[in-house]
Structure 1
Amino acid sequence: MADSQDRAFIFVFTGPDGSGRKTIADSVGSTLGLTKVLSYTTRKPRPGEVNGQDYHFITPELYEELDASGDFIESVTINSNLYGLRGSDIQRSFKNNGSVYLVLNPEGAEMLKQTYGNQLIRLFIYADRQTVEQRQQQKGIGGEVIEQRLGRYETDMIAQARCEHAFENYDLAHTVFEITNTLEQYLQRNLEERD
């Protein structure tokens, strides 16, 4: 088990909202059999999001309580909503499953990189501003929310230079394939079938 712990990584899918980072992360995670570590947030679920599958949706009061007790190793405020990640969730997943993956905004990914160093690999997923806007409109996201997100687009794109890998996402299947191959090089698993 020590050998697999040595090769345990935190793969963080990041990039601007609307880049497809969550869809890609879940597809790659499923393909590679990785466990997803969920963030906690005070915002309301978006259409199609499920508590315990996309995020842990909690009250601002509970969030503040967890934050005050030092549970969060990463905590950010975006558009008046709080987002945090519990270190105990990552450690438990490492112990039980080895490598894990997360979906974080670039600010959160940077905070985690400072904590985990080389064990954390940032995968920056992006598309041009117009494509990102169209994707959000197709999901039925309101104009005001899209405007808030696009207000962060340029800042989020700057984070690409600090990430270990960057992938342009215009063809979902191709992007998932590319990232899966990249992560296999980190995992270095013996994929031969055994009787």
Structure 2
Amino acid sequence: MDLVDADQSTRRRRGLLIVLSSPSGAGKTTISRMLLESDPEISMSVSATTRPMRPGEVDGVDYHFVDDAQFDQMIAAGEFVEWAPVFGYRYGTPKNPVKASLKKGRDILFDIDWQGARQLEPDFGEHLVTIFLLPPSLTELERRLRARSTDSEQVIADRMRRAADEISHWAEYEYVLVNDDMDACLRKVRAIVTAERSKRTSQIELNAFVRDLIGPQH
């Protein structure tokens, strides 16, 4: 059964599930924030996670912070549309908010990796838009990670090792951008979203509009 409610006839267009993936340090978080600030039709998916809350984060806004037992219960109850282990913790996307947003024709932005994107495909393929951001070089990627001044040498080394694995999945994405300029990259991401919204298959009411436009004789 389709996870999205079948009655979409009153909607102007289908909602999109916009997956934005990249290795840590390639600009995904910054691009996501800029995209959300510039487009009120997009909301951020709030994942559940077993990792500890960081200073400044708010439960229910940045993440739904749960322990391992709660996460296991959510998996068993089928409450996730996708989930994956990342750096020793688990992250998952709750199903009900996704269904509610798509029913309203709203777009949802996902900050997930290739594992999560792959899990969304079976049930939400017609709504899915996948974008992968590449760094201009691994040297620049490491420089950006060090510029944060928040991670230990061990964490940076772990992130660099993981980066190679994540980049190896680039061909599984519909769109691939090299993020060598943040503003230029944002413009490209926005252009992708605009094009996806304009697709014939995204415009729910287009058939009826065209019928009215040209008349029943056609």
TM-score band, normalised by the shorter chain? 0.7 to 0.9
1:147 to 143, 157, 164: 157
Conservation of the 8 A alpha-carbon contact between 2:24 and 2:159: yes
Structure 1 residue matching 2:176: 3-state secondary structure: strand
- Answer yes or no: is the 8 Å Cα contact 1:37–1:93 preserved in 2: no
Aligned length: 189
User: Are 2:177 and 1:170 aligned?
Assistant: no
Aligned CA distance change for structure 1 residues 19 and 4 (closer, same or farther; 3 Å): farther
What is the CA deviation profile of residues 74-132 of structure 1, one whole-angstrom value per residue up to 9, with x for unaligned ones? 12112220111111121122234522111101211122123311310101012022222
Gaps of 5+ in 2: 1-7, 200-218
Q: CA RMSD in A?
A: 2.1
Q: Which has the larger radius of gyration?
A: 2
Measured in 1, the distance between the counterparts of 2:171 and 2:80 equals 26
User: CA shift at 1:12, angstroms?
Assistant: 0.5
Tell me the distance in 1 between the aligned counterparts of 2:56 and 2:113: 19
Q: Deviations along 1:138-180, whole A, 9 cap, x unmatched?
A: 1122222222222211221122111010111121111111111
Give 1:7's match in structure 2, choosing from 14, 26, 35. Answer: 14
Structure 2 matches for 1:14-163, cutoff 5 A? 14-33=21-40, 34-46=42-54, 49-96=57-104, 98-127=106-135, 128-139=137-148, 140-163=150-173
| C-alpha contact 2:13 2:197 (8 A) present in aligned 1 | no
Distance in 1, Cα, partners of 2:187 & 2:100: 28
What is the DSSP-based 3-state SS (H/G/I as helix, E as strand, rest coil) of the residue aligned with 1:73?
A: strand
Cα distance in 2, alignment partners of residues 51 and 142 from structure 1: 25
SS in 1 for 2:169: helix
Asked if the contact 1:31/1:180 (under 8 Å) is kept, the reply is no
Task: State the distance in 2 between where 1:141 and 1:70 align.
Answer: 34
Could you tell me whether the CA contact under 8 Å between 2:15 and 2:101 is conserved in 1? no
Compute the displacement of 1:47 (Å): 5.5
1:64 CA drift (Å): 1.6
The two structures have a TM-score, normalised by structure 1, of 0.87
Structure 1 distance, partners of 2:33, 2:10, is 26
How far, CA to CA, are the matches of 2:146 and 2:73 in structure 1? 35
Structure 1 unaligned regions, length at least 5: 190-195
Is residue 181 from structure 1 mapped to residue 198 from structure 2 by the alignment? no
Residues 7, 186 of structure 1: 8 Å contact kept: no
CA distance in 1, matches of 2:192, 2:173: 14
Indicate if the aligned counterparts of 2:22 and 2:134 stay in contact, CA closer than 8 A.
yes
SS of the residue aligned with 1:8? coil
